[in-house]
Amino acid sequence: MSLRVCPQSNSSLSLSHSPMASSPSSPLLLFFFSSSFFFGFFSSATSADSTLKTYIVRVDSQSKPSVFPTHQHWFASLLSADESSPDAAAARILHTYDTVFHGFSASLSPSQLDSLRGHPSVLAVLEDRRRYLHTTRSPQFLGLRNQQGLWSDSDYGSDVIIGVLDTGVWPERRSFSDVNLGPVPKRWKGACETGEKFGAHNCNRKLVGARFFVKGNDAAGRGAGPGMGGGINETVEFRSPRDADGHGTHTASTAAGRYSFRASMAGYAPGIAKGVAPKARIASYKVCWKNSGCFDSDILAAFDAAVNDGVDVISISIGGGDGISSPYYLDPIAIGSYGAVSHGIFVSSSAGNDGPNGMTVTNIAPWLTTVGAGTIDRNFPADVILGNGVKLSGVSLYSGPPLSGKMYPLVYPGKSGILTSSLCMENSLDANHVKGKIVICDRGSSARVAKGLVVLKAGGVGMILANGISNGEGLVGDAHMIPTAAVGANEGDSVKAYVSSTSNPTATIQFRGTQIGIKPAPVVASFSGRGPNGLNPEILKPDLIAPGVNILAAWTDAIGPTGLDSDTRKTEFNILSGTSMACPHVGGAAALLKSAHPDWSPAAIRSAMMTTANLLDNTLKPMTDESTGKPATPYDFGAGHVNLDRAMDPGLIYDITSDDYMNFLCGIGYSNKIIQVITRSPVNCPRAKKPLPENLNYPSVAALFSSTRTGVQSKSFTRTVTNVGEPKAVYQVKIESVPKGVSLVVKPTTLVFSEAVKKQTFMVTIKADTKSLLLDDSGAAFGSLSWSDGKHLVRSPIVITQISPL
């Protein structure tokens, strides 16, 4: 198997002439451009065109005529020329952007869109798209220890502000208490926006700011974008920073929740709940809305606000819902995060939940830290006991009346051959067939907890939720409303075979509470997005993994633990799984590292986590893949599982500057104008010698060899390391796990540092003989190189693969 790489030519974007699917914009500029610029282009179509869609417009801010005192005046004049009134044109503007992006977003008719595309000051026009949340004992599992190490050295992150772009926050939770916290850092410039059931008093020294962004969602609901499905449902939502979904409260408290004693979810996972950086401050940016998702224009506005407000870290557990990564210039998360990183802000993003298939990792821009999910050493076992005495292992967070060992008739609706019945979709079950029985439902197509509700409505007494082959043996617990056990694909096949083998199948479910000390752990979660990087395989993604399975954290009071509208149960904490849960772990980790090392750049922080990450589980064996049980690879876990005890003192780091990222973008073939869509600043790519994208100073190395050439092929890579340990140090290289058919040479083999010499550059040359090169099922082979001074081990994963250009 060889990797097919699409060339990233400029033909995918017609600058100033063609729309670009969903990209971000910058608030101030956007407003300026919208109020004047748009008025000039909007009038001709206000009545002729009835179909409105929302677009994000990237404007060259340097093109403003000097006659206008501000960009806002300039935009207003352009817009008002053909509009019935300046107010009418201004009403089309949703957001203006001026920090991470220059431009605006607005609802446009087709003719207005055509006009904008042709304007010389417009660099790009991007269609607003909807995105989705990446949901489906952890601080200790990151290597953090009470009263020592990074927690104590960073004062638990007390001077760092984490911006969480999510569904808002439920401020009354104990996780957001400011008791015994010092004053808010003076550099903070944010706001506590008020709205429905949310006042200024809801912010404090812990929750230092809260904002909400809904204009893009509202525009979609008004019809600006057929099929976009936007518009909030105000019967279940709050038009304010208050969280009606629960996801934002959960991620915020995972990153930086205060100590909460006697925490649990209906008795499961009892103990002390705390975030990774318990004293870090939280700023909540509500961009996602219950049942209607998150829109690019709102996400970009939140990035713009967060940078202006003064956050130090951003955590964003959001991505596309199709498992496909857009080019960076079409991706508002990539654009917004570039602006944030260029201001020194670390951005943690989720890798997506479309695993275990390959090339499913999302949020893959090289300036983002992309986080996959692993298990922790805690589980919630539930046993399925069949009428023939066979016991099958599963998991569950069901907390209602137990079945108490009583055997019930067992039925599998999928025997009928009707797919919707096997999946227990809405209105697919015959009550006469399932009433009083335990029902086997196949996983997929609808929410796991929703299947249990379908069974309950049809009169069933319990559910066995069976994985299919795509999910393998990967299991997550859910707070079902009906007695339920989730089982892996093998157990699912066993219980279905039992049903077919007897005329009177029976079963019961036994719930066994919370079990800790599970081995092996961590294991790469089956759902976690996998490499290779679908845009630029020269950059290994995901970067690393963190706890993302069965994570206990704070929850909203607006909805029950299943998130279903019919679930009226209340719980202070909930247990969720997904790369959404892994992402804020790394956001909190970055806050601790930033507090301990305030001069470190976002790339330095990521490097410290990657080069010190764990490769072994708690049985001291290589980490495995939950979906297959086989050893995992860097396509699954990146550099490994975060270990903050070592990341605090990594020895060497691989740093990256904004100029380095610009050279990378030049190297992948982007034109100067395309790059300016991302970077805000004008760029002049070298004409004589194009930079090589694989020479971006990343803490990993990916060698791509042609699948159409035979014989020995060679690639060389340059890397520079910075000493952040003892000033005088000598590091020796160690090459590990060189695949068959590959030779790897590093020059020099020794790096010497002193007070005067803090940086050293080395070259890695990889040669591969395509005749003898052995690749795994993913089409890759893996190795690693490390630098060691006897105290530190600075490890970089190496990937070797073959590509066949289209």
Out of 201-210, 580-589, 630-639, 771-780, pick the least confident.
Answer: 771-780
What average pLDDT score do residues 643-670 get? 96
How confident is the model at residue 274, as a pLDDT? 92
User: Do residues 82 and 257 lie in contact, with contact meaning Cβ atoms separated by under 8 Å?
Assistant: no
What average pLDDT score do residues 635-663 get? 96
Query: Most confidently modeled of 5-19, 223-237, 610-624, 733-747?
Result: 610-624
DSSP notation for 537-549:
TTS-SS-EEEE-S
Query: Is the pLDDT at 5 greater than 70, yes or no?
Result: no
Structure tokens at 230: 């936007």
Confidence of residue 230 (pLDDT cuts 50, 70, 90): low
Confidence of residue 28 (pLDDT cuts 50, 70, 90): very low
User: Do residues 505 and 498 lie in contact, with contact meaning Cβ atoms separated by under 8 Å?
Assistant: yes
What average pLDDT score do residues 159-163 get? 95
Query: Is the pLDDT at 48 greater than 50, yes or no?
Result: no
Out of 60-69, 154-163, 238-247, pick the least confident.
Answer: 154-163
What is residue 678's three-state secondary structure? helix
Q: What share of the chain has pLDDT > 90, as a percent?
A: 68
Query: Most confidently modeled of 61-70, 148-157, 181-190, 765-774?
Result: 181-190
Out of 326-330, 503-507, 510-514, 777-781, pick the least confident.
Answer: 777-781
Specify the pTM: 0.90
Domain borders along the chain are 53-127, 138-377+523-646, 381-513, 658-688, 697-803
Cα–Cα distance between 453 and 522 in angstroms, integer? 31
CB atoms < 10 A from the CB of 569, how many? 14
Helix, strand and coil content of the chain, in percent to the nearest 5, comes to 25, 30, 45
Out of 153-162, 169-178, 586-595, pick the least confident.
Answer: 153-162
Query: Is the pLDDT at 81 greater than 70, yes or no?
Result: no
How confident is the model at residue 9, as a pLDDT? 39
Q: For 185-217, how does the pLDDT look when each residue is reduced to its tens digit (9 = 90+)?
A: 999 999 999 999 999 999 999 999 999 999 999
Tokens 């003076």 appear where?
186
Radius of gyration of the chain (CA): 27
How confident is the model at residue 358, as a pLDDT? 92
CB atoms < 10 A from the CB of 503, how many? 4
How confident is the model at residue 782, as a pLDDT? 95
Distances (CA, A) of 31 to 74, 94, 219, 453, 797: 10, 8, 16, 46, 45
CATH 2.60.40.2310 fits domain 697-803: yes
Residues making up the chain, counted from first to last: 806
Query: Is the pLDDT at 1 greater than 50, yes or no?
Result: no
Q: Which residues pair with 285 in a beta bridge?
A: 165, 211
How confident is the model at residue 157, as a pLDDT? 55
Q: What share of the chain has pLDDT > 70, as a percent?
A: 87
**Positions of E strands within 495-608:** 506-511, 515-516, 544-547, 551-554, 573-576
Cα–Cα distance between 110 and 269 in angstroms, integer? 54
Structure tokens at 394: 């599963």
Residue 756, classified by CB atoms within 10 Å of its CB into exposed (0-12), middle (13-18) or buried (19+), is: exposed
How confident is the model at residue 89, as a pLDDT? 67
What average pLDDT score do residues 767-795 get? 91
How confident is the model at residue 162, as a pLDDT? 98
Structure tokens at 154: 């960073």
What average pLDDT score do residues 172-193 get? 96
The half-sphere exposure of 116 on its side-chain side, counting CA atoms within 13 A, is 38
DSSP notation for 357-392:
SSS------TTSEEEEEE--SEE-EEEEEETTS-EE
Topology annotation, domain 53-127: Alpha-Beta Plaits (3.30.70)
CA torsion sign for 745, 607, 615, 628 is negative
Q: Which residues pair with 718 in a beta bridge?
A: 763
How confident is the model at residue 228, as a pLDDT? 47
Distances (CA, A) of 168 to 196, 242, 308, 558: 12, 5, 19, 12
Cα–Cα distance between 102 and 679 in angstroms, integer? 10
CATH 3.30.505.10 fits domain 381-513: no
Q: Which CATH number fits domain 138-377+523-646: 3.40.50.200, 3.40.50.850, 3.40.190.10, 3.40.50.300?
A: 3.40.50.200
Helix locations, 623-729, DSSP H: 634-637, 644-647, 658-667, 672-679
Confidence of residue 140 (pLDDT cuts 50, 70, 90): very low
Query: Is the pLDDT at 45 greater than 50, yes or no?
Result: no
Contacts of 147 (CB under 8 A, 6+ apart): none
Confidence of residue 86 (pLDDT cuts 50, 70, 90): low
Q: Which residues pair with 746 in a beta bridge?
A: 764
Confidence of residue 49 (pLDDT cuts 50, 70, 90): very low
Confidence of residue 611 (pLDDT cuts 50, 70, 90): very high
Q: For 378-392, how does the pLDDT look when each residue is reduced to its tens digit (9 = 90+)?
A: 999 999 999 999 999
Query: Is the pLDDT at 37 greater than 90, yes or no?
Result: no
User: Do residues 578 and 134 lie in contact, with contact meaning Cβ atoms separated by under 8 Å?
Assistant: yes
Out of 35-39, 83-87, 532-536, 643-647, pick the least confident.
Answer: 35-39
Contacts of 81 (CB under 8 A, 6+ apart): 39, 40, 43
User: Do residues 124 and 329 lie in contact, with contact meaning Cβ atoms separated by under 8 Å?
Assistant: yes
What average pLDDT score do residues 718-726 get? 97
Q: What is the DSSP letter of 145?
A: B
Confidence of residue 29 (pLDDT cuts 50, 70, 90): very low
DSSP notation for 327-356:
PGGG-HHHHHHHHHHHTT-EEEEE--S-TT
The most distant pair of C-alpha atoms in the chain lies apart, rounded to whole Å, by 87
Residue 57, classified by CB atoms within 10 Å of its CB into exposed (0-12), middle (13-18) or buried (19+), is: buried
How confident is the model at residue 771, as a pLDDT? 82
How confident is the model at residue 292, as a pLDDT? 86
What average pLDDT score do residues 452-465 get? 95
DSSP notation for 755-798:
SS--EEEEEEEEEEETTT----TTSEEEEEEEEE-SS-EEEEEE
Structure tokens at 441: 């439902």
Structure tokens at 568: 């009226």
What is residue 442's three-state secondary structure? strand
Catalytic residues: 166, 247, 580
Confidence of residue 24 (pLDDT cuts 50, 70, 90): very low
How confident is the model at residue 139, as a pLDDT? 44
Confidence of residue 62 (pLDDT cuts 50, 70, 90): confident
- Please give the angle made by the CA atoms of 54, 59 and 61, to the nearest 5 degrees: 145
Q: For 124-137, how does the pLDDT look when each residue is reduced to its tens digit (9 = 90+)?
A: 999 999 998 876 53
17: left (phi over 0), alpha (psi -120 to 50) or beta: alpha
What is residue 94's three-state secondary structure? strand
Q: What is the DSSP letter of 35?
A: I
Chain-centroid distance of CA 498 in Å reads 40
The half-sphere exposure of 364 on its side-chain side, counting CA atoms within 13 A, is 27
Contacts of 348 (CB under 8 A, 6+ apart): 313, 314, 315, 316, 369, 371, 583, 584, 586, 587, 590
Query: Is the pLDDT at 3 greater than 70, yes or no?
Result: no
Relative to beta strand 793-803, strand 701-706 is parallel
DSSP notation for 47-91:
TT----EEEEEEE-GGG--TTSSSHHHHHHHHHHTTSS-HHHHHT
> What does pLDDT average to over the chain?
87
Instruction: Look at 28 and 693; give whichever has higher pLDDT.
Output: 693
Torsion of CA 49, 52, 55, 61, to 10 degrees: 50
User: Do residues 138 and 547 lie in contact, with contact meaning Cβ atoms separated by under 8 Å?
Assistant: yes
